[in-house]
Amino acid sequence: MNDTQSVAGIVAVALVAVVTLAIGAYGWRFSRTTSDFLVASRSVGPGWNASAIGGEYLSAGSFLGVAGLVLAFGSDMLWYPIGWTGGYLVMLALVAAPLRRSGAYTVPDFAEARLESLQVRRFTALLVVALGSLYLIPQFEGAGLALGIVAGTEPWPGATVVGAVVLGNVLLGGMRSITFVQAFQYWLKLSALLVPVLFLLGVWLGDGAPSPAEGVGGAAWADPAATSGGSVGPGLYSTYSIIVATFLGTVGLPHVVVRFYTNPDGRQARRTTLVVLVLLGLFYVLPPVYAALGRLYASDLVAAGKADSVVLTLPGRMVGGDLGTALSALTAAGAFAAFLSTSGGLTVAVAGVLSQELQRRRAATTVRDPRAGVRPFQASAVVALALPLLVALAVQGVGVAEAVGLAFAFAASTLAPLILLGIWWRGLTDAGALAGMAVGGAAAGVAIVDTWLGTAHGGWLGVLLTHPAAWSAPLAFAAMVVVSWLTPHRVPLHVDTTMVRLHTPEALPLDRGPALR
């Protein structure tokens, strides 16, 4: 990348950072109480909330990683965007409305209210912190990669800039500020992919529209059957594991779940989910186009181990000149918006859990103060960002989309079984929930650590550890069910009242009793 492109990219990144902080400062005007910081006082409508969910959900793995994976490994990797979108069908059908009706602020709040167990709450809080940190790491890695391509820097400046901007927004206004920021950043990310791809397709058509299958690897790149090994085999197993991780993992992501608490009621939560499906569908059409064009114009990135950079590289290579520089700057701005929005949502989710745990230790008179939770929330935000930032700077070499995929596998093996069974099965017990989350978390955790260490495994062992969700998630569900069956005396005393509250529409004239928290 030449000096002009570097300057343009740096300016674009700086503008995104400044606008993000400005929008966050605007949100500060409306952030006064603990409820504002945690769930935006449950007043976010479907349109705003769907845009905000799209903003935070389309992370580094979506903006850079999908195109890189499809470029490097072929059409089998399209299951990632399909699964990341399809996960919201599960949210729509099974989770969104009941979860909002629970009245909880966080996943640990829901877990304690549903199972009437302080131990389940504490363990769930630990998993939320671990999962949030795991998901933050690829955001920081992607930021370092993007700024390195734009300005030729080491990884740490990009990661540090993202951390500083996110922290500023979260400290200013919590969920209120982050909602405004993420809604803006969804449309910025969509534009940052859509506008350049129109020019790239024009260049491709001007070159005689060669087929991407003519690139390195030939037709096998576009044929899923060529890489899945037929009806059985490691390739097909990996596909099924990706589907399990992405469909179920969405349900267990704390920064996604917490956004449904911001809707006024369950009906609005369902409407939000429908709009999210449309917004994600629009976005995910674009990364595979970059991957296909990368087959023809940037196939060397695969051999160099830089497939994740194809979105940032193509405009400069294919268009060139001042227009190519401007388009490259736009993609750099979109990439940073992806890192900022997802990091912000994760930080709010993790800080909310940490601050709620701190609040429980305060005197009852202090908790009644509507601003009592603001300072603990702000202090927790610093902790929530610092740890994953340090890990991201220490651990390099794991692909962005691969790291995000592992986070989804962990969510599918821990919080997803708790939420799904907690909503739909009255027989779930605290012992069963603890056993399932422990078994699933340990299974997925071993695979994650092994991948981070870069241990080389051949055959099925390597495949099972690279894509653990297909075995770790069923193991978690099975442990929850079996242990709950063995401990029927531990079914919560007020489970029937709780289940009625979760599944009865708000419009019905029903005496719901006290809130779950």
pLDDT of residue 231: 38
Q: Is the dihedral of CA 57, 63, 64, 66 positive or negative?
A: positive
DSSP secondary structure string, 284-312?
A: HTHHHHHHHHHHHH-THHHHTT-GGGHHH
Closest by alpha carbon to 358, among 375, 343, 370, 382? Answer: 375
- Distance (Å, whole) CA 498 – CA 10: 52
What is each CA distance from 344 to 168, 339, 341, 396, 460, in whole angstroms? 10, 8, 5, 22, 37
Q: What domains can be seen in the chain, in order of their start residue?
A: 3-503 (1.20.1730.10)
Q: What is d(CA 4, CA 13) in angstroms, rounded to the nearest whole number? A: 14
Quote the CA–CA distance of 209 and 457 in Å, as a whole number: 40
- Identity (one letter) of the amino acid at 83? G
Question: What b/e string do you get for 455-483 counting C-beta neighbours within 10 Å, with b at 16 or more?
Answer: eeeeeeeebbbbbbbbbbbbbbbebbbeb
Residue identified by tokens 């260049």 is 203
Alpha-carbon gap, residue 120 to 103, rounded angstroms: 18
Identity of residue 272: T
The C-alpha R_g of the chain, in whole angstroms, comes to 22
> Can you give the pLDDT at residue 223?
58
Neighbours of 85 (CB within 10 A): 21
Determine the Cα–Cα distance for residues 77 and 66; give it in Å rounded to an integer: 7
Give the closest residue to 396 by CA, choosing from 158, 151, 145, 164.
145
Beta carbons within 8 Å of 452's beta carbon, 6+ residues apart: 395, 398
**Of the candidates 514, 501, 515, 509, the residue with the CA atom closest to the CA atom of residue 266:** 501
- What tokens appear for 229 in the block? 């090994």
How many residues belong to the chain? 517
How far apart are alpha carbons 479 and 484 in whole angstroms?
Answer: 8
Three-state DSSP state, 482 = helix
Give the span between the Cα atoms of 309 and 315, in whole angstroms: 11
Q: Would you state the structure tokens that stand for residue 375, as one six-digit string?
A: 């300072």
**Amino acid code (one letter) for 394:** A
Going residue by residue through the chain (517 aa), what tens digit of pLDDT does each one get?
566 767 887 888 888 888 887 877 766 665 555 555 555 556 576 777 888 888 888 887 788 888 988 888 887 788 889 988 888 888 888 888 888 888 777 888 899 999 999 999 999 999 998 898 888 888 887 777 777 777 677 777 778 888 888 787 777 655 666 777 888 889 999 999 999 999 999 999 888 777 766 555 555 555 554 444 433 345 788 888 989 999 999 988 887 877 776 777 777 878 888 888 999 999 999 999 999 999 889 888 888 878 888 998 899 889 988 898 899 889 988 888 888 888 877 887 888 788 877 666 554 444 455 555 567 777 888 888 888 888 777 766 556 667 778 889 999 999 999 999 999 999 999 999 999 999 999 999 998 888 777 777 777 888 888 889 999 999 999 999 999 999 999 999 999 999 998 988 766 655 555 444 4
Give the span between the Cα atoms of 82 and 19, in whole angstroms: 31
Q: Tell me if residue 123 falls in helix, strand or coil.
A: helix
Q: Angle CA(324)–CA(325)–CA(330) in degrees, nearest 5?
A: 95
